Structure 1
Amino acid sequence: MSLLTHVLACLFGMGSWVAINGMWVELPLVVPGIPEGWYLPSYLTVIIQMANVGPLFITLMHRFRPGALDERPVIYCIVVLGIVATFLLAFFWNTAVEFAGALRSVPLLVLSFLLSVVDCTSSVTFLPFMMRLGPQFLTTYFVGEGLSGLVPALVALIQGVGLVHCRNATVASVAGVTLNTTATGGSGDLEAIYQPANFSARVFFVFLSAMMVVCLGAFVLLNHHPAVVRERKDHRYLGEESARDKREQGLSLHSQAPEQRPMISPLEPPARERRSSFGMGTYSKGEVVFIFMVLAWVNALTNAVLPSVQSYSCLPYGNQAYHLAATMAAVANPVACFIAMFTPIRSLVFMLFLTVVGTGFGAYIMAVAAFSPCPPLVDSPSGVAIIVISWILFVLTLSYVKVIIGVILRDEGHSALVWCGAVVQLGSMIGAISMFPLVSVYGLFKSGDPCNTKCLN
């Protein structure tokens, strides 16, 4: 195994979702400078789902023109688009244009859509490209994908995004950006004021553009560096893949020559009736359905459902609890990938166990968000510890499940990873569509105030 190839695979994976993850962590600094205000997160949710036209096009191409689409030109196009869009965002994110009789952040919304197309399409192009490398590099790619959320979060912490200090409302500086003021029943109300950032949003978006440049450089080297070419064994891969794609009558998960021994025991005689309709000879049809249902479920929870209520679940315990939960959850993702790299347990029973455990932590987080702004143990240090630990274990367990499913499907061939990316996006879309009306339309969740956490009975 080449250390260089591992580093490049990691840097390549970091470019997969770094742009949109960066947009989310920068929201506290962006929101005060645009007409949409805190409606922007709900707009972003819709925009990201609209951007699934990219994965849909790629999936349809594999379905109706198998073997006709090479991921590499598509990857070059979307990464370059990401570089340009993030760079333009640095200069036009706060530009307002009159549209439909009101001021709108048209450049911000359009560029956010383009970045969403880049990141969503990466799910169905980056993963299949990793088939060109050895199976050991796929887990490294997932580590990089996890870092695509952690690195922007750490930079935002250095920037000071979202740092709040509390002042008496009667003496608060009018220059500060304030949140809603909530009465505490005392002699004076407190209001939360965002502290000035250490550097501007423009610098942050230029940093995101530089991250995309790094991703492009890593991708170029993965294609052309001699040491990586030796790892790829590219000619053997292309020959087998071309022949297989010509035989496929649609988007099957068939693999003529899996690159690793399947997890099922070789002593068990292969039975033709065990083959699923997807062509995965290692698993029965029921097992294939189970794998994809778990994949859709964990991505719905981790990419849409729980992130949409993170502030509701954490802010009642204070601003420090919110930032600690967000940062440590981002750390948990690459940690899970490292664990999977050294202990890849492929048992479907263990996968189900981890999914149930992770879902249990997610259910607790959702319950806390539903009780916001007065969740259990709101004024207790144990409440802070429990919600932070719940977020860490929720992300840790389900991230491990996602990586293991990726490793399993990688062994089944190129088309299996196309399906993997498509199901990831499908699960995320279902989760976002489910949560949008609950959060943004019906307002079932109420925000906590980082300065006024006491609840009246």
Structure 2
Amino acid sequence: MPLLIHVLACLFGMGSWVAINGMWVELPLIVPDIPEGWYLPSYLTVLIQMANIGPLFITLMHRFRPGVLDERPVIYGIVVLGIIATFLLAFFWKHSVPIGSSSHSVPLLVLSFLLSVVDCTSSVTFLPFMMRLRPQYLTTYFAGEGLSGLVPALVALIQGVGVVHCQNATLTINGSHVGSDELQAVYQPAKFSAQVFFMFLSAMMVVCLVSFILLNHHPAVARERQNDRYFGGDLEREKREQGLSLHAQTPEQKPMIDPLEAIKREPRSTFGMGTYSSLEVVFIFVVLAWVNALTNAVLPAVQSYSCLPYGNKAYHLAATMAAVANPVACFIAMFVPVRSLVFLGFLTVFGTGFGAYIMAMAALSPCPLLVHSASGTAIIVAAWILFVLSLSYVKVIIGVILRDEGHSALVWCGAVVQLGSMLGALSMFPLVSVYGLFKSGDACNTKCPR
């Protein structure tokens, strides 16, 4: 397993969602200078769901015209589009256009939509492309996908985005300053501008493009490339080879169904998954949609509500450590790949339990449990870490399982990931942005009974 190919697969995976993740972490620096203000996150949510037209088109092409669409030209197109869109954002994100009696950030919204198309379409093109490489590189790709959220967050942390200092507020009465018991949140000026940050995102997309080119043309990669049997329908021979090799694995690493027995069966699923029964296929895809809905949409929508009542440090620590937990889960899956569906179901329930605690604290905001104690802060940070760690592991292992089922299964994997994320976002949007069921906590003033 050459290190070079692992690095390239990781850098390629980082380009999958780095643009939109970068947009989210840069919001505190953007919203003060645009007409939409803090309504921008709601607009972004809608734009991301509209961008699912890209994955829908790719999935329908694979379903009704199998073998016609080669994902490589599509990947070249969307990555180049991502480079251009992030570069243009650096210069036009502040520009507004008069529409009727008000102004709107049309360039920002249009470019954000294009970036959403890029990132959403990557779910149904990047994963199937990884079928061309050996199985061990898929886990490295997932690690890179996790880093696509961590790297922009760390850069934004260095930039100083959202860092708050609390100072005593003063009131002016008859020209004289009067002290107040209230603390005022003062945002620290950023160390570099949003323009520099967007140029960094554009550079990350260039790195993704270079990695993809090398994965296609570098001689070292050619030796690690899979044969064309996944694309020519000769999947049975591959399953026989996998079945023979699985005898050398420990029992907990084996699939739930013996591959040697499975190859004797007729395919029982419309997703190209002959190894698993229809019920098991439904279970796999339901779990995949569920964990992506929670990790990509439902819980991120209430992260500030669940953490800010415990203080600004708790919020930043939870956000950063949760972002670290994602690639850590990928590395754990690389060395401890437990593929038992029973275990994955247990881990899904385990992670969902922590998600339920986080959601409960968000609903109780601005006065959640243990709001005045250090233990409350430790519990909410730990809940975020364990939530992301457990469900990210589930996502990676399901990706590995589907990878062994062939090209078509990975296309459906990307489609279900997007479907779950879309359903999660659409369910949370009215609760957060329309009905206002969640109340923000104050990072500096906690008015809760002790």
Report the TM-score when normalising by structure 1: 0.91
Q: CA deviation at 1:167?
A: 2.2
Q: Which runs of 5+ in 2 are unaligned?
A: 173-178, 244-253
Q: Does 1:212 align with 2:222?
A: no
- Post-superposition offset of 1:255: 6.3
Distance 1:20 1:266 in 2: 39
Contact 1:255 1:413 in 2 (8 A): no
1:293 Cα deviation from its structure 2 partner: 0.2
CA drift at 1:455 = 1.3
Question: Which amino acid is the alignment partner of residue 197 of structure 1?
Answer: A
Structure 1: 5+ residue stretches without partners: 173-185, 246-253
SS of structure 1 residue aligned to 2:181: coil
Equivalent residues in 2 for 1:175-190 (5 A)?
187-190=180-183
Say yes or no: does 1:386 pair with 2:379: yes
Question: What does residue 57 of structure 2 align with?
Answer: 57
User: 1:315-338: CA deviations, max 9, x gaps?
Assistant: 000100000000000000000000
Partners of 2:259 and 2:275 within 8 A in 1: no
Aligned equivalent of 1:244: 233
CA contact (8 A) 1:10 1:140 kept: yes
Q: Is the 8 A contact 1:321 1:388 kept in 2?
A: yes
Corresponding residue number in structure 1 for 2:36 = 36
Helix, strand or coil at the partner of 2:131: helix
Structural mapping, 1:420-439, within 5 Å? 420-439=413-432
CA distance in 1, matches of 2:97, 2:169: 33
1:109 aligns with 2:109: yes
Q: Tell me how far apart the structure 1 counterparts of residues 262 and 192 of structure 2 sit (CA, whole Å).
A: 63
SS at match of 1:232: coil
What value does the CA root-mean-square deviation take over the aligned residues?
A: 1.8
Aligned residue number for residue 341 of structure 2: 348
What is the identity, as a one-letter code, of the residue corresponding to 1:243?
G
Over 6 Å off, 4+ runs: none
1:188: how far off? 2.6
Secondary structure at the aligned position of 2:165 is classed as strand
**Paired position in structure 2 for 1:179:** none
**In structure 2, what residue type is equivalent to 1:7?**
V
| 1:319-398 to 2 correspondences below 5 Å | 319-398=312-391
Aligned match of 2:170: 170
Of 159-168 and 364-373, deviating more is 159-168
For residue 247 of structure 2, what is the aligned residue in structure 1?
none
8 Å contact kept, 1:255–1:412: no
Aligned to 1:27: 27
Give the CA deviation at 1:265: 2.4
CA-CA distance at 1:80 after TM superposition: 0.3
Report Cα offsets for 1:380-434 as digits up to 9, x if no partner.
Answer: 1011000000000000000000000000000000010000000000000000000
The Cα offsets for residues 235-269 of structure 1, whole Å up to 9 and x where unpaired, read as: x32xx244329xxxxxxxx7663473372225657
For 1:73 and 1:267, locate their aligned partners in 2 and report how far apart those are by CA, in whole Å: 36
DSSP 3-state at the match of 1:193: strand
Q: Is the 8 A contact 1:274 1:285 kept in 2?
A: no
- TM-score of the pair, normalised by structure 2: 0.93
The answer to whether the Cα contact below 8 Å between 2:236 and 2:263 also exists between their aligned partners in 1 is no
Work out the CA distance in 2 between the residues paired with 1:50 and 1:255: 38
CA contact (8 A) 1:379 1:454 kept: no
Q: Report the 3-state secondary structure (helix = DSSP H, G, I; strand = E; otherwise coil) of the residue aligned with 1:450.
A: coil
8 Å contact 1:47–1:116 — kept in the other structure? yes
Aligned position for 1:178: none
1:257 and 2:227 aligned: no
C-alpha deviations, 1:147-167, integer Å up to 9, x for none?
000000000110000001112
Separation (CA, whole Å) in 2 of partners of 1:171 and 1:343? 59
